[in-house]
Amino acid sequence: MANLQGYVKPGSIEESLSSQIDFTRLPRHIALIMDGNGRWAKARNLPRLSGHRAGIQSVRDVVETCARLEIEYLTLYALSVDNWKRPATEISGLMRLIIEYMNLELDTLIRENIRFRPIGRIEQLDPAVQQELQKGVARTAACTGLNFNIALNYGGRTEIVDGVKRLLKESLAHGGQIPAVDEDAFTSYLYTAGMPDPDLLIRTSGEMRVSNFLLWQIAYAEFYVTETLWPDFRAQHLFEAILHYQRRERRYGGLSDSFAATEPLANQR
Ligand code: FPP
């Protein structure tokens, strides 16, 4: 069971919020669209990259909080396949930040038993970035705590196309036999093979968009949008998101329990 003792200060807003969380009903997988770095920087007359740099502290905070809460999976959206349209200096700056993050945080990830995995078209990234990411994957491979995914050069549609390509390649290797495919089988061709779908999808900065993130996997995720910009996002905001999630009734296309219970049997046929 999650233990936040010594992590949240007595009498703090974090303590008050976390004391309301039902630790037996936590989301297994939290997905997060980190948005608003540019606006955070603009409001301070700083270059956009300063917003991304400030966002690294939020990454640290959220990873640590999820680990303490014993959340099983956390997936952060760091770079989409469409972000290459941004100025080259912003992209190269982001790549540097990722290398820096891996260098600074890898020991902490290992110490905290956190398993790191990048998802996306990683093979198209700069070799120096790939090398750092691979090091992170290899050195945390035996960790059994939080599974921490970073989506990099990631697109939800791209992931589905890549999955179809893998499936076709496999079928060609088996003499062109088309395998029996259903929804469960197809998920094994996705970057997230073997992981549960996100239960909770958080987006910062007030934008109401999915932005090509985990399109297949979020079919039944609960969506939570906060006005908070990513560089300001801290444990407190994560607790708020989880509390909202715990107030939702998840129906997966079915009926609400209370509605089903009050409906006369004859009408249910
Ligand atoms: C969106 O804000 C944010 C990004 C495109 C990049 C997010 C990346 C980081 C926080 C650093 C990643 C590093 C690690 C280690 C995970 P935006 O620039 O679109 O903001 P705006 O909408 O206000 O312009």
Global pTM?
A: 0.94
In this prediction, residues 245-269 reach a mean pLDDT of 73
Is 149 designated active site? no
C-alpha dihedral, 169 to 174 to 180 to 184, nearest 10°: -50
Of 33, 37, 75, best ligand 1 pocket probe by most atoms within 8 Å of the beta carbon: 37
Cβ atoms of 114 and 145 closer than 8 Å: yes
Count other Cβ atoms within 10 Å, centred on residue 136: 25
Assess if residue 103 is contained within a domain. yes
In this prediction, residues 95-116 reach a mean pLDDT of 97
* pLDDT above 90: residue 256: no
18-68 per-position pLDDT tens digit: 999 999 999 999 999 999 999 999 999 999 999 999 999 999 999 999 999
Assess if residue 250 is contained within a domain. yes
Residue type at position 246: Q
* pLDDT at 148 (0 to 100): 98
* pLDDT at 269 (0 to 100): 47
Distances in whole angstroms, Cα of residue 82 to Cα of each of 10, 44, 101, 154, 211: 43, 26, 22, 8, 9
Assess if residue 14 is contained within a domain. no
Strand partners, 96: none
Query: Domain range holding 232?
Result: 26-155+195-267
Is 184 designated active site? no
Cα of 213 from ligand 1 centre, angstroms: 14
* pLDDT above 60: residue 267: no
Q: Which of 45, 82, 83, 113 is catalytic?
A: 83
Residue type at position 115: R
* pLDDT at 261 (0 to 100): 64
Q: Whose CA is nearest to atom 10 of ligand 1?
A: 55
Q: Count how many Cα atoms sit within 13 Å of the Cα of residue 217 in the half-sphere of its side chain.
A: 27
Which tokens in the block code for residue 128?
A: 């120096």
Indicate which atom in ligand 1 lies nearest the CA of residue 150. Answer: 16
Assess if residue 209 is contained within a domain. yes
With a Cβ cut-off of 6 Å, ligand 1 is lined by 34-39, 52, 55-56, 59, 76, 78, 83, 97-98, 101, 150, 205, 230
CA distance linking residue 5 with residue 10, whole number of Å = 9
Assess if residue 263 is contained within a domain. yes
Q: What is the CATH number of the domain that holds 202?
A: 3.40.1180.10
State how many domains the chain has: 1
